[in-house]
Amino acid sequence: MDVMNEHVGGSLQIATDVLAKIARQAALEVEGVQDVRAGNTKVKNLWGKVAPQRAVSVQLTDDVAEITVCLVVDFGSKIPSLCEKVQQNVKSSVQNMTNITVSRVNVTVSGICVPTDTAQG
Residue 115 has what pLDDT? 82
Query: Contact 86/73 with Cβ under 8 angstroms?
Result: no
Residue 76 has what pLDDT? 94
Task: Give me the amino acid identity at 83.
Answer: C
**Single pTM value for the model:** 0.79
Query: Contact 108/41 with Cβ under 8 angstroms?
Result: yes
Residue 1 has what pLDDT? 54
Residue 12 has what pLDDT? 81
In the predicted model, residues of the chain with pLDDT beneath 50 are 2-4, 119, 121
Please tell me the distance from the alpha carbon of residue 104 to that of residue 72, in angstroms, as a whole number.
Answer: 20
Query: Contact 82/30 with Cβ under 8 angstroms?
Result: yes
Residue 13 has what pLDDT? 86
Residue 71 has what pLDDT? 95
